Structure 1
Amino acid sequence: MTSPAAPGATSAAHSLARRIVAALIMMPVVLGALWLGHPYWTILVAIAAGMMAWEWRRLTAAGAVGAIGWAMMALAALAVLLTGFGEVRLALWVLGVGGSLLGLAAGLGESPAGGGWAWLGTLYAGLPSLALVWLRDDPASGLATLLWLLFLVWAIDTAAYAAGKLIGGPKLVPRISPSKTWAGLAGGAAGAAIIGYLAARWTGLPDPWLLTGLSLLLALAEQAGDLFESAVKRRFGVKDSSGLIPGHGGILDRVDGLVAVALIVAGFALWGGGSPLAVWAP
């Protein structure tokens, strides 16, 4: 006779199954909207930005959303929509001024700390989302750049999880994230290097090692973004940012690494004259 599975094993298998089903549903939606571009990508990112702001507000305000939270959602989504229609400077003004006013209102109505968290949350949800739409709008390399970024982040997370589980070993920053290991960091870096090299070959870059090296650096930024969100959740005693995505937690839990990567690549494109795939093209 076969012995019944342990309750822990059954729960883990059920959680893994939910994660896989959720990923199979989300990936075609994300990749389809990305492929079609504006307005589909803009609308999808605007919705995600609003939900990120909602999760942040609940996370940092003991589950309360209130008028501040709804305003944060509206500001983040509006900034993304403005960017999609070419009004990038106006979008930045909306985030900067609107986020500051919301922070002031929350600070006066709640506490100075609450005001700081509201201000930071507006920027945290809005700026990376704005960057994702702005990068996609480049007709020459926008689609390729975003495909590289998405597969990069997915590869880092998957390889880090697999290496951490299979190898284990010393913890990376146990006070912030008890489950992360140095082996996971190395695995994520390896996954990033593979995606960077493949992306360089796919797009025909003359020197694939430039994008491979940048992808390695972005792996560190991605993990730092993950740790930052973990630190915020630990600060407020919360395990997941929400339960919006079965088996995955919330949107913030899924995009914490992408937030950092998107901002860095957008900065590269802004000051370097284009995304790496365009600047380093033959």
Structure 2
Amino acid sequence: MYHLIEEFEQNLGRNRTLSFLFSLIKIILSALLQTYVMQVFMDPCNLISGGFTGIALFISRVASLGGMNLPVSLLIILLNVPVAAFCVRAISKRFVLLSAIQFVLVSMFLEIFSFEPLFYDIMMNLLFGGILWGFSISLALSSGGSTGGTDFIAQYVSNKIHRSIFNIVFYFNVAMYIAYGFSFGWIYCAYSIIFQFLSTTVINKMYKRYQRMTLQITCKDPKPVVDAFMETVRHGMSIIECKGAYKGETYYICESVVSSFELPELTRH
């Protein structure tokens, strides 16, 4: 089913307006599903996720121990907006826009909706919650956006050093879970790690989150290609002059290393 959705979106690729609207629908569904998972599966079990959403949940629960009420919805905005503003000049504007819509909608939906828990069994919540959380993130990624937070940082740094920083993101999440274990008990730390493992497994099956790939375009006039590329993303491109083996005509190979986040937008152009 998921591959059929991807194929349908590829067929819309030539119409940028329809393509963006379809991406926007997936972003809305992603935000709604994340809100549902947080309220139905995560809250009853005191779970946190990875990334900035996990930090927001962590801070909110630490504050509640001191009698303070810091809404998760507010913390999601406060954590994400500065990072998005910092990264917008260095990464795809479309990626930042869709990601910003996603985390703003999650913040709004947390205040608007109130979903009741389905299960009170910890393993059932871990299983269904982890799988659906991974699916919600994959929806956002497949739209050309993300759920914000560490994805902004990962995209920014990857563009600078031209390699994936998945391991760094993983270690960051591990450190957060350890801190969570110290604060609320190691059993909740262990449950949250299992939850994160399940969601990451789903994401890896559906979407290569921090994958880097080489984009090559062969043409006779590289200027329009370079101009369109630089307008879409914010890093360099190499131009290699070559000759065709059959006719001996001069061609140019336009080459750049791009991330999986950027590829859908580049192919649409």
Q: Report the TM-score, using the length of structure 1 for normalisation.
A: 0.28
Larger relative contact order (Cα-Cα within 8 Å, sequence gap ≥ 6): 2
Q: TM-score, normalised by structure 2?
A: 0.29
Larger radius of gyration: 2
Question: Hey, which of these two has a bigger chunk of helix by percent?
Answer: 1
